[in-house]
Homo-oligomer: A and B are copies of this chain.
C-alpha cells in the first residue's frame, strides 16, 4: 500500500446557508481543488459523503450532480452513506483508492443541507439513522438515546449535570474564535443546565445544531504531494467499524465498542501511541458523547473522562486537546459533512493555521460516530 496525503482542503461556513445542496458542495469542492492547486480534470474519482439528501432536499444522485457542477470529467462519482459518519466513510474510500494504487488523485467531500426542510422533518430524517423496525418505532430519537447514555453514565460514575455541561462551556468558548462555526457565543454551566429541556436530562445547550455545510479534501500519493504543497498532511491510519443498531443491544450504555475498535485499528495502522496524538476532533453531537468517546478512544480510563475535563486535561495545554475547533456543539452538524469537517480542522492544526492552535501539533486524530455507534470512522493525520 502507498502512503496517502491530503494536499488541499476546504470547509464552507456551517449554519443556515442561503444556498442549495449542490452549491454548498460545489463551494467546498472548488475550494479544496484551489487549495491543492489542482485542476478538476486531473481528479480521477469523486466520493461524496451524504446522509439524507432524499428526505431533506428531495434530491438523490447527488455525487454525479455535484461532479458535473464543479467540472470533473466523466469519472466515477459515488455517494456513500453511513449516518453521521458518512463523511468519514468518504475519506476512507478515497484513501483506499489512492493507497491501493488504483487512483492518483481523488476528491472526497461531505455535504448536508438540513435547513431546507422544516425542523420536524429534519428530526424525522435524523431518527431514520436508527433501526426503525426496532427502536425507531418506539419514538426514540437521538437526543433520547444520548439522554439514556447520560443517565446511565451519571448513575454509574456519580458524574453531575454540572460536570457534563462543562463540555459545552469548553467547546463553545473555542467556537467563538472559529469563523466557520454556526454558534459563536460563550455559555456558562448555569446557562447549559437551565436551557430548554430536550430529552431529560439533555438540555438545548447539550446539543449540536441542525446545519447546512460541506467540506472537501484532495488526496494523492505522499510521494507526489510535495509537488502541490509545502504542507502535505499524511493519512497515517484510518479505520471504519460497524457496531450495534439499537440501544437495547448494549449491555452498558457508558461506552461504544465501535469507537474502541476503530481507534485501535487506526492507531495500530499509523503506529501512533496515545501520547503522540497532539490534537483530537471528536464527535460531540451531545455533551455526554464527548466524555464517553474520550474514554473509548483510550485517552482516559472509563469513568475518568469528566474528571479529566474538569481538570482541563482536554483543553489546549492539557493532556489531549479535544475539539479546539469548537466541535459539533459550536460548529453545527451538517450530517454528511461532519467527518470531512473534522479532517479540515486537523489539517489546519497540522499546518499551524487553526483559529485555536495547539502549539507544534504534529499528529491529529478524527472521530466520526454514526447512529447508535452503528458506524465509526477514526483517522490519524500526520504532518
Inter-chain contact A374/B64, CB cutoff 8 Å: yes
Instruction: Give residues 120-174 of A contacting B (CB, 8 Å).
Output: 124-125, 128-133, 136
Q: What chain B residues lie within 8 Å of A57 (beta carbons)?
A: 132
Contact A76 B92 (CB under 8 A): yes
In the bound complex, do residue B100 and residue A58 qualify as a contact, i.e. CB atoms below 8 Å apart?
no
A interface residue count range (under 10 / 10 to 19 / 20 to 34 / 35 or more)? 35 or more
8 A Cβ contacts from A247-299 to B: 257-258, 261
Residue of B nearest to A100 (CB): B100
CB contacts (< 8 Å) of A133 on chain B: these are 20, 22, 59
> B242 to A64, Cβ gap below 8 A?
yes
Most chain B CB atoms below 10 A, which of A54, A133, A370, A374: A54
Q: Please, which residues of chain B bring their CB within 8 A of the CB of A132?
A: 57-59
Is the contact region of chain A dominated by helix, strand, or loop, or is it mixed? mixed
Q: Return chain B residues, CB-CB under 8 Å to A92.
A: 76
Which residue of chain B is the closest to A132 with respect to CB atoms?
Answer: B59
Say if the beta carbon of A33 comes within 8 Å of chain B: no
A16 adjacent to chain B (CB < 8 Å):
no
Could you say which of B80, B100, B102, B242 contacts A67, with CB atoms under 8 Å apart? Answer: B242
Decide if B64 touches A243 in the complex (CB within 8 Å): yes
Q: A54-B125, A61-B370 are in contact. Are A96 and B102 (CB under 8 A)?
A: yes
Within 8 A of B (CB), among A50-81: 51-52, 54-55, 57-65, 67-68, 72, 74-81
- How many copies of this chain does the complex contain? 2
A63 touching B82, Cβ below 8 Å: yes
- Residue A89 at the B interface, CB < 8 A? yes
Task: Scan residues 187-223 of chain A and give those whose CB is less than 8 A from a CB of chain B.
Answer: none
A344 within 8 A of B: no
Q: Flag whether A245 is at the interface (Cβ < 8 A).
A: yes
In the complex, A107 has a CB within 8 A of chain B? no
A366 nearest CB across to chain B (Å): 16
CB–CB B375/A242 < 8 A = no
A-B contact pairs, 24 of them (CB 8 A): A20-B133, A57-B132, A59-B132, A60-B81, A60-B128, A61-B130, A62-B81, A63-B81, A63-B82, A64-B245, A65-B245, A74-B258, A75-B242, A76-B89, A76-B240, A76-B241, A77-B82, A78-B93, A78-B240, A79-B81, A81-B81, A96-B97, A96-B102, A100-B102
